[in-house]
Amino acid sequence: MIPRIALTPGEPAGIGPDITLAIAQQPWDAELIAICDPDLLRQRADMLGLDIRIDVVDNPQGQPQLHRPGSLKVYPVALNAPCTAGELDPANASYVLCTLHAAVDACLAGRCQAMVTAPVQKSVINEAGIPFSGHTELLAEDTDSDRVVMMLATAKMRVALATTHLPLKDVPAAITPELLTETLEILHRDLQQKFGLAAPRIAVLGLNPHAGEGGHMGSEEIDTIIPTLDKLRARGMVLQGPLPADTAFNPKVLDHCDAIFAMYHDQGLPVLKYAGFGEAVNVTLGLPIIRTSVDHGTALDLAGTGKADASSLRAALEMAISMVNSDPETRR
């Protein structure tokens, strides 16, 4: 099966269009459909001195065809206002969201087998008066998913999160038995179905320094985390922990687990991004569709300069194709 992958270039003033054009220059074992304004890509290609053929397709369907380097199929969504590289415009905030909604619809309808997203600028979307906390939350709403899990992955490490974009002061109250159970179930299931791991091994971090030091540095481990892990182990899950976060990222742990499960955003992601920035992939687990993304922001200062690095988008596309091939639901 040749998968059809929906690409959303994200914030039009950022490097999303640049890196989308960059990956279109190489062969892929998939059909690529960019969901955006075709004129935006043409204008950015002119700025970058790229010779690329833009083929507008109104309704991608039928048997996918392998991507042809130097060309790109585009499902057209019109910008609300002219775009200048590097200059944010709140007028285009709703355009960005429209491209995401269209990609989700295409995946839910089976016209595309996965979606890959370039970075968006959360601030300008909120400045436009549209409440927006991130791709992860929007995708959960669009797909009617009660719970999703953010996971970042490199070739050597996967880090999933119990909580995502929460202020640090709100994290302890959010760490409940229900949340831990649901997020670990999602992580376990998707590691099996989408990554082909029959018996995933998950290392779980504690919330507090030294994983609570036996209750002397916090009681969440004793009251909530340990009892929840014990119940999940009784159901057959292979779980280590809770482990102290400051010593968990070492070969003795990483060589014997398939994923690290962190309690909050900045507990696990700084380590992963230090180890693999520019080559890491953001994966949303728990969705009825496959979605991967880059691990970086819009880099407005690099837009249109030819200096943007497409490595993370390339890795996100490679992972999406691999996940499609591992997931029996998308191969049907």
pLDDT bin (cut points 50, 70, 90) of residue 307 is: very high
* Alpha carbons 140 and 138: distance in angstroms, whole number: 5
Residue positions forming the annotated binding site: 135-136, 165, 210, 265, 273, 282, 291
Is 171's pLDDT higher than 70? Answer: yes
Position with higher pLDDT, 274 vs 117: 117
Nearest to 314 by CA among 271, 280, 286: 280
Nearest to 162 by CA among 100, 235, 245: 245
Please, what's the b/e burial string for 58-97 (b: 16 or more CB within 10 A of its CB; e: otherwise)? eebeeebeebeeeebbbbebebbeebebbebbbebbebbb
For the chain, the average pLDDT equals: 94
pLDDT bin (cut points 50, 70, 90) of residue 330 is: low
The CATH classification of domain 149-273, taken from the options 3.60.15.10, 3.40.718.10, 3.40.980.10, 3.30.750.24: 3.40.718.10
Is 278's pLDDT higher than 80? Answer: no
For residue 59, which phi and psi values (nearest 5 degrees)?
A: -155, 90
Q: Which DSSP state fits 264?
A: S
CA-derived radius of gyration, the chain: 20
The answer to whether the CB of 139 falls within 8 A of the CB of 104 is yes
Residue positions forming the annotated binding site for substrate: 135-136, 273, 282, 291
pLDDT bin (cut points 50, 70, 90) of residue 156 is: confident
Is 331's pLDDT higher than 60? Answer: no
**Dihedral sign of CA atoms 272, 277, 280, 284 in order:** positive
Terminal Cα distance for the chain, rounded = 9
The answer to whether the CB of 281 falls within 8 A of the CB of 315 is yes
Q: In the chain, which residues fall in CATH 3.40.718.10?
A: 4-145+287-326, 149-273
Q: Give this prediction's pTM.
A: 0.89
pLDDT given for residue 316 in this prediction: 96
Q: Cα separations (Å) of 266 from 4, 179, 276, 296?
A: 34, 18, 15, 15
Q: Supply 40's token pair.
A: 């935006």
Q: pLDDT digit string (tens) for 203-256?
A: 999 999 999 999 999 999 999 999 999 999 999 999 999 999 999 999 999 999
Q: pLDDT digit string (tens) for 119-152?
A: 999 999 999 999 988 888 899 999 999 899 999 9
Residue positions forming the annotated binding site for a divalent metal cation: 165, 210, 265
For residue 312, which phi and psi values (nearest 5 degrees)?
A: -70, -40
pLDDT given for residue 167 in this prediction: 93
Q: What is the CATH number of domain 4-145+287-326?
A: 3.40.718.10
pLDDT bin (cut points 50, 70, 90) of residue 61 is: confident
Other CB atoms within 10 Å distance of the CB of residue 240: 17
**Dihedral sign of CA atoms 95, 2, 295, 287 in order:** positive
What is the SS3 assignment for 204?
Answer: strand
For residue 285, which phi and psi values (nearest 5 degrees)?
A: -95, 155
Q: Cα separations (Å) of 327 from 29, 83, 192, 229?
A: 16, 38, 9, 27
H helices within the chain, ranges in order? 16-23, 38-48, 93-108, 122-127, 135-142, 171-174, 177-193, 220, 226-234, 245-248, 251-254, 265-276, 311-326, 328-331
Q: Which DSSP state fits 81?
A: S
